[in-house]
């Protein structure tokens, strides 16, 4: 295979995809049912096997006859190889060591898209006795190991005394050697932060994300208080108190259908005007109607954010970054509910029940709710280690890095086109980026 690239045509995923319309193309190779070409101005073409990125991730080589074409070695019996690798990853043990503790479903804000204002008609709060039992079960189930606890709501700072007691209990357990370490994190709207709370969170080394949706004009469209007023100033006041106290704090942005196309500009403005050095972008959550945003647009916005945050030395967390980790470390991610290391998370509800999902915990979907105990944690671990990659994923270029649809997604609406479009687009852009500058995280 030499000479000019195959003629321009739309690839197997419809239109050409890229950071700018028409710039990056996915092209089929003539007379082949499984080879495709990534092509963009300013980047060398990449030939790849459309079954997955397995070959690119794990066995890159330059097989061009004249060194013109950076290629990947194509494996024989691809289906057998990929199936065997997926079984191998599925056999890896998983362990639940991360816990989202939902202290309360109540909140002093009334954000228009939040579950608390739509589905949590009778918000619940965790009693002190339930919290004590929760802490004990977490310690017993992770003896000698490290644990991570994410304080969540509603607004978790409505029950600050609970958090303060629990952080002290975990710290004492670590000092005694009952657990090896504990890492705390929190998502808050920032409005209830006081100087004392900020100092205590800094002392506990609790990482914090303060939720905003962008600059004031964007944020105050949806993130409002109980009287309908904007919340941007309250959130920024809490953010600054936390930063001044030395807390590792960032801003967490949620994009919806009306704001996803300007996500990059919104985050850039926050970085440049607020001075934030850590930014999170919420992954769209599955619902009965699928994703609420255009997946390809979100991928293009996240791709711009990755490049910008790298240049500005800003830490970025958000959807698609598992693709970059996979490319950098040649470590496929084949299960949405489990990291390549086997770490998994679960939710503890305000009533002290165990949910396998950190998104949906009110009715137990996608698995049933269980009474929290060391036994129920073990039972849930056995359930969650089953990969959710679907037969229809076979042949997708993102098959080995997106993790497949999550179990909740399958229960609610099945595989959604916008999720697929997001990962396909982000994979293409990330592979091209890795050929230009190398993958950076």
Segment 213-225 mean pLDDT? 95
Higher-confidence residue of 64 and 193: namely 193
pLDDT score at 92: 62
pLDDT score at 85: 56
Higher-confidence residue of 8 and 285: namely 285
Highest mean pLDDT among 210-224, 283-297, 389-403: 210-224
pLDDT score at 48: 67
H/E element, 223: none
| Placement of tokens 């000092």 in the chain | 175
106-155 pLDDT, tens per residue?
999 999 888 655 555 688 999 999 999 999 999 999 999 999 999 999 99
303-319 pLDDT, tens per residue?
999 999 999 999 999 99
Q: Do the bridges between strand 315-317 and strand 343-348 make them parallel or antiparallel, or are there none, so unpaired?
A: unpaired
Sequence-separated contacts (24+) of 268-275 with Cβ below 8 Å: 268/308, 269/214, 269/215, 270/212, 270/214, 270/215, 271/308, 271/309, 271/312, 271/314, 273/215, 274/236, 274/239
Q: Is 158 exposed, middle or buried (0-12, 13-18, 19+ CB in 10 A)?
A: middle
Judged by DSSP in three states, 113 sits in coil
Tokens for 348, please give them: 């503890």
| Placement of tokens 């300013």 in the chain | 42
CB 413 within 8 A of CB 287: yes
19-49 pLDDT, tens per residue?
344 456 666 666 666 666 766 666 566 666 6
Answer yes or no: is pLDDT of 430 > 60: yes
For residue 121, the number of C-alpha atoms closer than 13 Å in the C-beta half-sphere is 0
Nearest residue to 236 via CA among 203, 269, 196: 269
Question: In angstroms, rounded to a whole number, what is the distance separating the alpha carbons of residues 65 and 1?
Answer: 7
Segment 388-400 mean pLDDT? 76
CA dihedral 410, 103, 214, 280 (to 10 degrees): -60
Question: In angstroms, rounded to a whole number, what is the distance separating the alpha carbons of residues 174 and 176?
Answer: 5
65-92 pLDDT, tens per residue?
443 444 444 444 455 555 555 555 555 6
pLDDT score at 370: 95
- For residue 266, give every residue at least 6 positions away whose Cβ sits within 8 Å of its Cβ, in sequence order, or none: 213, 214, 215, 218, 253, 259
331-369 pLDDT, tens per residue?
777 778 888 778 899 999 999 999 999 998 988 899 999
Answer yes or no: is pLDDT of 328 > 50: yes
Segment 309-330 mean pLDDT? 89
C-alpha 428, offset from chain centre:
19
Segment 267-277 mean pLDDT? 96
- For residue 399, give every residue at least 6 positions away whose Cβ sits within 8 Å of its Cβ, in sequence order, or none: 51, 52, 53, 54, 82, 389, 393
- Is residue 326 very low, low, confident or very high in pLDDT (cuts 50, 70, 90)? confident
pTM, two decimals, is 0.86
pLDDT score at 392: 75
| Crossing angle of the two packed helices 195-203 and 232-244, in degrees rounded to 10 | 50
| Placement of tokens 């295979």 in the chain | 1
Tokens for 176, please give them: 């005694």
């Amino acid at each position: 295979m030499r000479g000019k690239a195959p003629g321009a045509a739309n690839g197997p995923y419809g239109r050409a995809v890229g950071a700018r319309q028409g710039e990056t193309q996915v092209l089929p190779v003539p007379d082949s049912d499984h080879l495709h070409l990534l092509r963009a101005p300013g980047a060398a073409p990449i030939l790849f096997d459309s079954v997955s990125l397995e070959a690119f991730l794990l066995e890159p080589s330059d097989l061009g006859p004249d060194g013109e074409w950076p290629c990947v070695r194509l494996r024989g019996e691809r289906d057998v190889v990929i199936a065997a690798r997926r079984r191998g990853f599925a056999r890896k043990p998983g362990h639940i060591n991360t816990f989202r503790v939902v202290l309360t479903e109540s909140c002093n804000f009334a954000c228009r898209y939040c579950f608390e204002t739509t589905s949590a008609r009778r918000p619940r709060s965790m009693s002190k006795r339930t919290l004590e039992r929760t802490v004990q079960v977490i310690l017993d189930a992770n003896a000698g190991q490290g644990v991570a606890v994410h304080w969540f709501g509603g607004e978790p700072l409505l029950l600050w005394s609970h958090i303060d007691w629990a952080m002290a209990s975990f710290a004492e357990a670590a000092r005694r050697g009952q657990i090896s370490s504990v890492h705390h994190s929190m998502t808050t709207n920032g409005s209830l932060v006081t100087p004392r709370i900020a100092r205590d969170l800094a002392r506990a080394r609790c990482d914090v994300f303060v939720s905003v949706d962008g600059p004031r004009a964007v944020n105050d469209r949806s993130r409002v208080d109980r009287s309908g007023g904007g919340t941007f100033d309250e959130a920024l006041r809490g953010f600054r108190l936390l930063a001044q106290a030395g807390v590792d704090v960032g801003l967490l942005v949620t994009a919806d259908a009306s704001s996803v196309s300007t996500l990059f500009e919104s985050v850039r403005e926050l970085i440049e005007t607020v001075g934030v050095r850590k930014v999170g972008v919420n992954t769209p959550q599955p619902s009965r109607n699928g994703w609420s945003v255009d997946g390809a647009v979100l991928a293009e916005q996240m791709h711009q954010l990755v490049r910008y945050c790298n240049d500005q030395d800003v830490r970025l967390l958000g959807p698609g970054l598992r693709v970059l980790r996979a490319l950098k470390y040649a470590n496929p991610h084949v299960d949405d509910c489990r990291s390549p290391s086997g770490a998994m998370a679960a939710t503890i509800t305000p009533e002290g029940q165990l949910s396998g999902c950190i998104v949906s915990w009110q009715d137990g979907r996608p698995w049933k709710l269980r009474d929290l105990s060391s036994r129920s944690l073990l039972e849930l671990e056995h359930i969650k280690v089953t990969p959710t990659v679907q037969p229809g994923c076979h042949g997708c270029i993102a098959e080995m890095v997106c993790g497949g649809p999550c179990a909740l997604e399958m229960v609610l609406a099945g595989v959604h086109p916008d999720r697929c479009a997001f990962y396909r687009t982000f994979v293409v852009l990330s592979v091209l980026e890795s050929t230009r500058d190398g993958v950076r995280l």
